[in-house]
């Protein structure tokens, strides 16, 4: 019986390690995508201000960030 419990534990541990590796890979992919988005965002700002977003001109990054956050919140609210 002890062998069976040990075998079950080893099997579960291997499955856990597999799942942990998969999550790590997914997180790495998500992080790479986030870095790419940040680089695009910086390039967008380097093009100069004002920036027009949803029909309105924004003359500084903080005002644009607020507008983007509001648009995201609105979209998420519609999806709920």
pLDDT(2) > 70: no
pLDDT(1) > 70: no
The CA-CA-CA angle for residues 16, 22, 26, to 5°, reads 145
Asked if 13 and 27 sit in the same domain, the reply is yes
Asked if 28 and 65 sit in the same domain, the reply is no
Task: Determine how many CB atoms are found less than 10 A away from the CB of residue 64.
Answer: 21
Q: How far is Cα 36 from Cα 43, in angstroms, rounded to an integer?
A: 11
Are the C-beta atoms of 67 and 56 separated by less than 8 Å? yes
**Looking at beta carbons, which pairs linking 4-11 to residues 24 or more positions away fall under 8 Å?**
none
Looking at residue 4, its pLDDT comes to 87
Instruction: Give the pLDDT confidence of 59-79 residue by residue, as tens digits.
Output: 988 999 999 999 999 998 887
Q: What is the pTM of this model?
A: 0.52
Query: Looking at the 3D structure of the chain, how many domains does it have?
Result: 2
Instruction: Give the pLDDT confidence of 16-63 residue by residue, as tens digits.
Output: 888 888 888 878 888 888 889 889 888 888 888 898 999 999 998 899
Instruction: Show the domain range for 75.
Output: 49-80
């Amino acid at each position: 019986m002890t062998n069976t419990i040990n075998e079950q534990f080893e099997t579960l541990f291997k499955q856990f390690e597999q799942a942990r590796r998969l999550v790590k890979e997914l997180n790495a992919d998500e992080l790479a995508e986030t870095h790419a988005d940040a680089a695009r965002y910086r390039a967008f700002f380097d093009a100069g201000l004002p920036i027009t977003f949803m029909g309105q001109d924004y003359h500084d990054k903080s005002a644009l960030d607020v507008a983007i956050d509001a648009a995201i919140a609105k979209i998420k609210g519609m999806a709920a």
